[in-house]
Chains A and B, each alone.
Chain A
């Protein structure tokens, strides 16, 4: 059983329904850790001053808002806290609308709403009323110091809440210069062919059909590596070419210098000759 991430209540006219909020998504993206090449030491990030590289303790870090390049207004946590939306525990339903009127572009994150103790009856009532009316609720709530616009809709046995972007957060299409003009109508014949193609590929949406194949492949690779299979891919060895010349000349010069005054015999005779060096 997952843990609730928030609790409060839906307020719907005179009815108050205590609920708990659960995440709808288990993130399955792969997480890698940063390690030092060679010995696998875990990497820790340090916060440092960009000017003198000295480490800065968390208590010495303040928030600055850049009002113009390199000019910052320092804002204290107290100042921000004074402006927080009222830490209300209530989800206020404001309107009921048709779901198809809301473009998916507005949806942000989804959560399941689960009735808290004793609220089962009121919860079921709201769920059934929304099913029958085929409408979804638009509500406002405060989550983590931020005001959110949300929708609540019936989804199987649960009410599901989705946080939404505010209209002024959505980028206007007028800002996209390369969209074709409205009067750019396709030819009838071409359109007929395109419609036929769409028809032939039409099916019901079956989300279980699609998988993150990249993730599957990465996991498979990691498992193989963990079993000790060597998967390091070989780079092709280039033919000795023009690049060699410098090194070869250097080698010849050093080899003849070393032969005059040998430092060590060549590796043919260099066998691991030393026994254990003693030390405690």
Chain B
């Protein structure tokens, strides 16, 4: 087996990348080289979403079907120029130094570590206790699929529309859908988590056959779990444009509400599954559909019992 390490130079920075021929997605023969190639090409869309956010690397050294581990502490072997940011971890009673991946060389470095999945904090490192967005992670319990998720997502969209708030859907790249509400204004995790939990319970009481807000897996069968608990300073959520370790090289992909509606009406789950090539093509055609999540300033509304969906 050749080691096939190569040295590449990006903006005057030298980086070693290795094992480019190693197959990372067995079913389609997608290699580590192709993973790095994807991350390089998607960088213009992806980097703004990583900027300033403590990053958790989910590493798959032997490909998507093999063992993985979460790396929060930025590895000591990182390049000298790669910035890190200390975030106090109450559980570990020490500061964890997260990687900040904010430019192309850093992204290539992470991809070369087989960090297939990039999981980001909902806050910026500068203000770690202030989430810049509200997230609903819609996770279908089989036999429910992403189609049931579209119904719940549309419900959330309508709810926020009535409050004159914009929301943005993306696929998880795995089984479900995620709905993001940009905030970028003063708030706290206490507020966003409470809001998300209350709304999830409300949706559950309106649609008990479709929605569950309790985390227990055995309650989820055939329903959609509205995961409100991601709105937490300890949690990370898969970043938009991150690849996922599934059978195919799928990506957490921003979609339009029209696409969600069409998928719901046609019951076509396949229409909401995107692999890396499709995502690159979409980006060149549609631009970054998730750009407003970074900039749009909206205020977390007050919840009252009259809110409906």
Contact = CB atoms under 8 A, between A and B. Distances in A.
A37 B67 contact: yes
B48 interface: yes
B47 A247 contact: no
Interface string A164-207: 00000000000000000000000000000000000000000000
A237 B84 contact: no
Contacts of B16: 237
Contacts of B20: 243, 247
29 contacts: A36-B67, A236-B3, A237-B6, A237-B16, A240-B7, A247-B33, A247-B36, A247-B40, A250-B40, A253-B41, A254-B40, A254-B43, A254-B104, A255-B104, A258-B43, A258-B47, A258-B103, A261-B44, A263-B44, A263-B102, A263-B103, A266-B11, A266-B103, A267-B103, A274-B125, A277-B87, A277-B88, A278-B128, A279-B87
Given A237-B3, A266-B11, A279-B233, 13 more contacts: A37-B67, A38-B59, A237-B16, A238-B5, A243-B21, A250-B37, A251-B10, A257-B44, A258-B103, A263-B102, A270-B102, A272-B83, A277-B54
Interface in B266-288: none
B47 A263 contact: yes
A261 B47 CA distance: 11
Q: Give the interface size bracket for B toward A.
A: 35 or more
Nearest to A237: B5
Contacts of B18: 235
B8 interface: yes
A63 interface: no
B12 A238 contact: no
Interface string A135-161: 000000000000000000000000000
Interface in B45-100: 47-48, 51, 54, 59, 61, 67, 69, 71, 79, 81-88, 90, 95, 100
B143 interface: no
Contacts of A247: 6, 8, 17, 20, 33, 36-37, 40
Interface in B94-142: 95, 100, 102-106, 125-129
Given A246-B37, A250-B37, A268 B6 contact: no
A273 interface: yes
Nearest to B89: A279
A76 interface: no
Contact of B10 (A38, A237, A255): A255
Nearest to B18: A235
A270 B36 contact: no
A255 B11 contact: yes
A280 interface: yes
A243 B21 CA distance: 9
Interface string A116-144: 00000000000000000000000000000
Given A247-B37, A263-B47, A240 B3 contact: no
Given A38-B71, A235-B18, A240-B6, A277 B103 contact: no
A252 to B, nearest CB: 10
A277 B104 CA distance: 24
A209 interface: no
Given A36-B67, A264-B51, A270 B3 contact: no
A244 interface: yes
Interface in B1-45: 2-8, 10-13, 16-18, 20-21, 33, 36-37, 40-41, 43-44
A253 to B, nearest CB: 7
Contacts of A264: 47, 51, 102-103
Given A237-B16, A255-B104, A38 B5 contact: no
A13 interface: no
B138 to A, nearest CB: 23
Contacts of A279: 87-88, 128-129, 233
A236 B103 CA distance: 28
A247 B11 CA distance: 14
A241 interface: yes
A248 B40 CA distance: 10
Contacts of B59: 38
Contacts of B13: 266-268
